[in-house]
Amino acid sequence: MLLAIEQGNTNTLFAVHDGKDWIAQWRTATESTRTADEYAVWLAQLLAMSGMSLGALTACIISSVVPQSLFNLRNLSRRYLHVEPLVIGENAELGIPVRIDKPSEAGADRLVNAIGAHIVYPGPLIVIDSGTATTFDVIGADGGFEGGVIAPGINLSMQALHEAAAKLPRIAIQRPERNRVVGTDTVTAMQSGVFWGYIGLIEGLIKRIKDERGGHLTVVATGGVFSLFEGATDAIDHFDGDLTIRGLLEIHRRNTT
């Protein structure tokens, strides 16, 4: 069975694939100081709750945007799974061209998403991922990664608003009631600004990318926050929460067949 690890700046996803289906998924907060041993204890407990054990895992693939954590994730695979992991950006062949000025600077998560999107949706594509940052990536008709846009994530924007303004509270991100734009108190005004402001960001950048690139590009969105925007804009063609783990599975297949 395959253990796929997708580590972002905020959360880390561990998913298990049995060769046919994803049979388990868990998320934990990303902590760069967590050791391989701590990961192993945590993972072993969750596997046991699902009727599995670390010994059942026979392969591992890792995508991480946190360099200081990669050492411990790699050791988790070596020490407890007894396998050398495939690591995006190191020893994993992606099978796609990376057409940017400095290919080594392309984030592992963005490349994985590109592959996960290309094997399902006809290109060319715009792939949007909302995490700590919100990224807009252009994928060619052949699956090639052609660059994109990086903007602050919605949670980061909300946090900055609270921390920089003394009288603005920390609030949950949610869609305004009845899709109202004008708030009638501080909380609803903040919710509207963040929600509709991000809709404006999404629609504006999609339009500018399409105008610059020419032709039709299918727009695919992923990331947990994007479920908030379903039905609020026609600019996104598909919402796909499995983009990243699908990409990891495909990369594993390309490197083992």
Q: Which residues are catalytic?
A: 109
CA 148 – CA 137 distance, rounded (Å):
4
At residue 200, the 3 state secondary structure works out as: helix
Q: Which H or E run includes 256? A: helix 243-256
Annotate 163-192 with b (16+ C-beta within 10 A) or e (fewer): eeeeeeeeeeeebbeeeeeeeeeeeeebbb
| Maximum distance among all Cα pairs of the chain, rounded to whole angstroms | 59
Beta-bridge partner residues of 14: 5, 26
**Smallest Cα–Cα separation from 3: which of 34, 35, 46, 67?**
46
Q: Which residues contact 32 (CB under 8 A, 6 or more apart)?
A: 66, 68, 69
